[in-house]
Structure 1
Amino acid sequence: MSDRYDAIVLISFGGPRVPDDVMPFLRNVTKGRGIPEERLAEVAEHYLHFDGASPINEQTEDLYEALVQGLANSGHPMPVYAGNRNWTPFIADAFVRAHADGHRRLLAVVTSPYACYSSCRQYLEDIERALAETRLDSVLAVDKVRQFFNHPGFIAPWVRGLEEAVVSLREEVEDLKAEQIEVLFCAHSLPVGYESSSGPKDGRGVYVAQHLEVARLVLAEMAQRGGLELPNWQLVFQSRSGPPQMPWLVPDVNDAIAEIDTSSRKAVITVPISFLSDNMEVIWDLDNEAAATSRDLGFAFRRVPTPGTAPVFISALVEMIGERQGWVEGRCSVGKFDAWFDACPPGCCTPERTGSPRIVRVRTSGEESMTGASRVSVSREAMN
């Protein structure tokens, strides 16, 4: 059986490379959203603190190389191209290069594992726009790999990272008990309308539910692997960028840290489960701001690394490509959600931009934290 796709395109968010890129990049990201120029200038300082270069560029290049090698190691090597939504090289550049090299059917691997407008539908719209702008829409067919929040290869790096964070904290804090650690699973905040419309029409509001499921899977697997249970955890949000009058998902990670009981907790661990790489939002919002908030309150602090190029995660991406190519049987997933759609149903993740939705504050008690533990079936091999 011949392959169904003849090339892969890796699509990432993109980021500036030099100081002069920063403001044009931010204007491109926030186009049409009414973000004040002074707010953009404030965010620009985060990038300028790192000489105007976003770490996401090097991390995407590393992911690209790892994916190329992973496909080769699988026995199914394929050409891989790379393009970004918001900065060079753009998605359109990748399509032009692929077409010039003779490819006609592309499979997109998008660096976003969850369902919502910003994480999925907007990427699909950008793919359509790039095809139209390059006038390749009649000669290039582009499909997208499914969302993979519940693939065991995505869960595994978080488990290992959280385990290592606990070990590291216990080396710093004498006699640290599991119940003295507050674990904050960090999701990228969204406008409330985007959350309520995430997913298909018959199951709206899956963005938060998917993040909660990842948190539960990670905690349950930790307990199953080594008997370590972390009862005190919550889902929090970070990296809000919208106008102040628009309701966004809360609590913000720093607000959540400020509310932690200092008499019963000694340490904070942040787990940025929305992100695949240690991008600017991770290293600024967590390594800088959340770390400072924690230490000001007397908490020891750790941040779990993102999956990046962890071999088990690269294997998961290769496996999902194999699903679409026909050289992998079945569709691997773990937990209460089935493997996500290969093709989104009509109306999936359409943003609700009208009205004044209420603020949604997400809280999850320790009693709820192990819900679904009996359904966890991540293999030992995947975790090691």
Structure 2
Amino acid sequence: MTSYDALLLVSFGGPEGPGDVIPFLENVTRGRNVPRERLAEVGEHYMLFGGVSPINGFCRDLRAAVAADLAAHGPELPVYWGNRNWDPYLADAVRRMRDDGVRRAAAFVTSAYSGYSACDQYLEDIARAREQVPGAPEIDKLPVYWDRPGFLDPIADGVRAALAGLPDDLRGDAPLAFTAHSVPLAQPGRETYAAELAAASARVAERAAPGRPWELVYQSRSGPPAQPWLEPDIGEHLEKLAAAGHRAAVVVPIGFVSDHMEVRYDLDVEAAALAGRLGLTLARAATPGADPRFAALPRTLLAEITGDAR
């Protein structure tokens, strides 16, 4: 049995005001030679929302919900929070844990899937943060959870609610478009990432709308146009649906555990505007966020690896 004396919530991070936007984007793109004008262009997406990403607010809510779940059901562990790309940074969280006497922590990452950018890059950032802190506690990442009811069931509820919100005369015609962040075809673990996304989409579709047509598509790609990424793109998919005579669709951000800027802008603004031009009524399913079932996942995963089936 492995025992832990803390839980570390690990997330991507996001700006919390206009002055944070460009420094945050510089952190995200460091070493990739992204032109300054491209950063400014993406920064404008954040400015539409006051320069604030929804992700840090989500993490505060999730941290509180996870702490409440652990307090109610055990094990009672302090819950820390560190980000890869913005304050509170991972190294600062690791330093606080060390100073508080934490010896071994389990890390719950706000990414449900395998693959490099969805999983391995978080492991690298955790290792890098520990290297910056002499005497850092051991930190073990909890398993991926794309197939767990605590992740899938809130998404299925979001699909049902999105369908219910469509006009009666459009509801029966609306297929589901599951979306996830695209990655380059050359990225390590891309096949596993795509396979897990497809399996998660199939399970949600079966839970929420058995027999309804659905497809897995991708969004938010970046990089040189000549570099191949996972496809089809959400925009191309919406064009195909409209050309086939569909009048409505439900977009399900299966690749995200909470609203990110990629959800709020790329789907709620950009994809919604395209759908309007195409004559498609678009509904968007909610992400799990701090749903109590999702907040219970760290406890469930801890029980599995410690053998404590409380």
TM-score by length of structure 1 reads 0.77
Correspondence for 2:286 among 305, 313, 318: 305
Correspondence for 1:156 among 130, 136, 153: 153
| Residue 175 (structure 1) aligns with | 169
| Residue 104 (structure 1) aligns with | 103
Q: Report deviation, 1:126.
A: 0.6
| Residue 347 (structure 1) aligns with | none
Counterpart code for 1:52: G
1:229 aligns with 2:220: no
Which runs of 5 or more structure 2 residues have no equivalent in the other structure?
A: none
1:38 aligns with 2:20: no
Matches of residues 43-192 of structure 1 in structure 2 within 5 Å? 43-136=42-135, 139-169=136-166, 172=167, 174-176=168-170, 178=172, 180-192=173-185
Counterpart code for 1:176: L
Q: Secondary structure at the match of 1:21?
A: helix
Deviation >6 Å, runs of 4+? none
Q: How far apart, CA to CA, are the structure 1 residues paired with 2:63 and 2:31?
A: 30
Correspondence for 2:200 among 210, 214, 219: 214
8 Å contact kept, 1:14–1:57 = yes
Higher helix share: 2
Q: How far apart, CA to CA, are the structure 2 residues paired with 1:52 and 1:266?
A: 34
| Residue 368 (structure 1) aligns with | none
Determine what percentage of the aligned residue pairs are the same residue: 45
Q: Report deviation, 1:85.
A: 0.2
Q: Report deviation, 1:317.
A: 2.5
Q: Report deviation, 1:155.
A: 0.8
Change (3 A) 1:106 1:296: same
8 Å contact kept, 2:69–2:296 = yes
Q: Report deviation, 1:177.
A: 5.2
Counterpart code for 1:153: G
Q: How far apart, CA to CA, are the structure 1 residues paired with 2:232 and 2:244?
A: 21
| Residue 290 (structure 1) aligns with | 271
User: What whole-Å deviation, never above 9, does each CA across 1:227-283 have from its counterpart, x for those lacking one?
Assistant: x4212x211111112233322112211121112144531111110011011111100
8 Å contact kept, 2:13–2:55 = yes
8 Å contact kept, 2:242–2:279 = no
8 Å contact kept, 1:85–1:91 = yes
8 Å contact kept, 1:222–1:229 = no
Which runs of 5 or more structure 1 residues have no equivalent in the other structure?
A: 199-203, 330-384
User: What whole-Å deviation, never above 9, does each CA across 1:122-148 have from its counterpart, x for those lacking one?
Assistant: 111111111111223xx5211010000
Correspondence for 1:260 among 228, 234, 241: 241
Q: Report deviation, 1:219.
A: 1.3
Q: How far apart, CA to CA, are the structure 2 residues paired with 1:245 and 1:127?
A: 32
Q: Report deviation, 1:309.
A: 1.0
The count of residues paired between Structure 1 and Structure 2 equals 310
8 Å contact kept, 1:7–1:80 = yes
Q: Secondary structure at the match of 1:175?
A: helix
Matches of residues 243-254 of structure 1 in structure 2 within 5 Å? 243-254=224-235
User: What whole-Å deviation, never above 9, does each CA across 1:50-103 have from its counterpart, x for those lacking one?
Assistant: 121111111110011011001111132110100000011110011110111111
User: What whole-Å deviation, never above 9, does each CA across 1:176-227 have from its counterpart, x for those lacking one?
Assistant: 353x212110010001111xx31xxxxx71111111101110111235xxxx
Correspondence for 2:191 among 196, 205, 212: 205
Change (3 A) 1:263 1:146: closer
